[in-house]
Amino acid sequence: MAYVYCKDCGWKQDNFWEWKWTWKFWKWRAFGYNPIQCIIDEIKFWIIPRFVNYCIPPSGVVEKRFSWFIMIEEIIKIIKRTKDMRWKTIKEFQLDKDKRCPRCGSKNLEID
């Protein structure tokens, strides 16, 4: 997995997506890395109803929260992260003739 960042202003986006089916019993991501798989992972982790100690960043305050509320918050984060992406796949990035940072307009982008 790789992501794009701007060397001038520090802007970065989430990792590029991959859409491939690799179902094997030892693989934990059957659909590759994409928003659908991320949401499935969050549902699998938080679907069991329980109260958990949850640390709220950046203050570090720990409070008890219900797992379904945490699951909804995490899914909302995934949706926001998905909407903020400029290039969804590495192929989109490579085919883009005018690669510019969405924040500062610089062409000084790097793949990490």
Q: Which CATH number fits domain 1-16+87-112: 2.20.28.10, 3.40.50.720, 3.40.720.10, 2.60.120.460?
A: 2.20.28.10
Please give the pLDDT value at position 14. 86
Mean pLDDT of the 89-96 span: 90
Reference 37, options 50, 49, 25, 22; nearest CA is 22
Cis status, amide bond into 58, omega within 30 of 0: yes
Distance CA 84, CA 105 (A): 16
pLDDT tens-digit readout, 54-75 = 888 788 889 999 999 999 999 9
Q: Return the structure tokens found at 72.
A: 């909804």
36 contact partners, CB below 8 Å, separation of at least 6: none
Q: Is the pLDDT score of 76 beyond 90? A: yes
DSSP 97: S
**Domain ranges, ordered by start, for the chain:** 1-16+87-112, 24-81
For residue 19, pLDDT beyond 80:
no
In angstroms, rounded to a whole number, what is the distance separating the alpha carbons of residues 107 and 17? Answer: 22
Res 26 pLDDT > 60: no
In the block, which residue shows the tokens 């610089």? Answer: 106
Is pLDDT at 24 greater than 90 in this prediction? no
pLDDT value at residue 70: 94
Model confidence at 80, in pLDDT bands (50, 70, 90)? very high
Average pLDDT taken over every residue of the chain? 86
Per residue, the 3-state secondary structure of 29-48, as one string, reads CCCCCCHHHHHHHHHHHHCC
